[in-house]
């Protein structure tokens, strides 16, 4: 089937091929001027944005929206793969991307596709890490080499703490982490009289955040999701404060901090009673 025929293909099993054919057409002469002028670098922000929009749909359990957002993420994969196929230095396209992924999945699941045996999900993760280190020839490099590279700092901290815990570098119990949080909080308090520009201020706050992420890991709480939910809760309560003040004839700009705090406590009590 030619690309032109594939663009109009209705076979449910060949829609990925159809999407790839459409992307090729958009990039060709006579296609879309905007798509044709894009580069790997120019659409990096789009890749990041689409990933976060997909995550938001997952959190909202909005399945129709998730289907759409997964398609937008796939678009980014198709876009980069098509641009790579046009570049002789890259020398790969969508099929090579899919083949490398498939080969990796088989290699790193020897307990499914080979003769290896693992007892549980933790064993699978340890096996995956060991195979990955061998494949990348990093067995002799530091254990945390490239750990979480490219991730936002919160997720990178989570990944680092998970990895060192696998080799036993961890607190014996949750109480030990809480004690460490108290210690770090005291050290943050010691910086309160320092100027904001003093590097110790940021350092101690960073240490506190890092230990809190450790506690999240131990309690099997995703810190990104926990903070996301905390943001949502704060937004909900603050919007309620604004409505409460408005009902009293006050705007946010006109309300005092005491009036805002009183409204905040009122909202909290209502939520707790509900």
Q: What's the Rg (C-alpha) of the chain?
A: 25
Q: How many CB atoms lie within 10 A of CB 73?
A: 14
Q: Is the pTM of this model over 0.75?
A: no
* 267-271, Cβ contacts within 8 angstroms, sequence gap of 24 or more: 267/237, 267/240, 267/241, 268/237, 270/240, 271/237
Q: Where are the alpha helices (DSSP H) in 108-255?
A: 110-113, 121-135, 153-166, 174-189, 199-218, 223-247
Compute the distance between CA of residue 11 and CA of residue 5 in angstroms, rounded to an integer: 12
Residue 132 covered by a domain = no
Cβ atoms of 263 and 244 within 8 Å: the answer is: yes
Residues 6-44: tens digit of each pLDDT = 999 999 999 999 999 999 999 999 999 999 999 999 999
Q: What is the mean pLDDT of the chain?
A: 93
From first CA to last CA, the distance across the chain in angstroms is 61
Is residue 128 situated within a structural domain? no
The predicted-structure confidence for 194-206, as pLDDT tens digits, reads as follows: 999 999 999 999 9
User: How confident is residue 138, by pLDDT bands cut at 50, 70 and 90?
Assistant: confident
Q: How many domains is the chain partitioned into structurally? A: 3
The model's pLDDT over 121-133, given as tens digits with 9 standing for 90+, comes to 989 988 988 898 8
Q: Are residues 174 and 257 in the same domain?
A: no
Of 229, 215, 91, 88, nearest to 157 by C-alpha is 215
Q: Same structural domain for residues 200 and 252?
A: no
On whether residue 105 sits in a domain, the answer given is: no
Closest CA to 40 of 96, 90, 80: 80
| Assigned domain for 18 exists | yes
DSSP conformation class of 62: -
d(C-alpha 227, C-alpha 249), whole Å: 33
Q: Is 167 helix (H, G, I), strand (E, B) or coil?
A: coil
Comparing CA positions, the residue from 24, 37, 44 lying closest to residue 85 is 24
Rounded to whole angstroms, the Cα distance separating 71 from 18 reads 13
Phi, psi at 151, each rounded to 5°: -80, 155
Name the domain boundary from 179, 205, 221: 221
Which of 59, 94, 129 is the endpoint of a domain?
Answer: 94
94, 83 Cβ separation under 8 angstroms: no
- Identify whether residues 229 and 217 lie together within a single domain: no
Domain with 266, as residue range(s), is: 225-273
Q: Indicate if 217 and 262 belong to the same structural domain.
A: no
232 and 174 in one domain?
no
**pLDDT tens digits along 35-72:** 999 999 999 999 999 999 999 999 899 999 999 999 99
Look at residue 113 and tell me if it is in a domain: no
């Amino acid at each position: 089937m030619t690309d032109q025929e594939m663009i109009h293909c209705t076979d449910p099993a060949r829609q990925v091929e159809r999407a790839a054919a459409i992307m090729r057409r958009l990039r060709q002469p006579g296609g879309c001027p905007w798509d044709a002028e894009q580069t790997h670098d120019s659409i990096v922000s789009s890749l990041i944005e689409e990933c976060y929009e997909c995550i938001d749909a997952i959190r909202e359990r909005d399945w129709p929206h998730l289907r759409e957002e997964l398609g937008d993420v796939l678009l980014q994969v198709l876009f980069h793969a098509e641009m790579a196929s046009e570049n002789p230095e890259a020398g790969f396209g969508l099929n090579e991307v899919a083949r490398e992924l498939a080969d990796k999945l088989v290699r790193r699941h020897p307990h499914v596709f080979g003769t290896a045996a693992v007892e549980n999900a933790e064993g699978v993760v340890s096996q995956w890490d060991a195979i990955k280190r061998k494949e990348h020839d990093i067995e002799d490099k530091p254990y945390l080499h490239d750990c979480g590279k490219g991730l936002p700092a919160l997720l990178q901290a989570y990944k680092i703490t998970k990895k060192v815990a696998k080799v036993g570098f961890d607190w014996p119990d949750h109480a030990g982490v809480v004690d460490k949080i108290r210690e770090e909080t005291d050290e943050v308090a010691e910086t309160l009289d320092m100027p904001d520009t003093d590097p110790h201020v940021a350092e101690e706050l960073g240490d506190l955040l890092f230990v809190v992420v450790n506690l999240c890991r131990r309690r099997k709480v995703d810190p990104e999701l926990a903070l996301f939910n905390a943001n949502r809760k704060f937004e909900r309560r603050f919007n309620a404060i604004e409505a409460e003040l408005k009902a009293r004839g006050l705007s946010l700009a006109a309300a005092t901090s005491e009036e805002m705090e009183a409204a905040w406590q009122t909202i909290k009590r209502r939520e707790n009673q509900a």
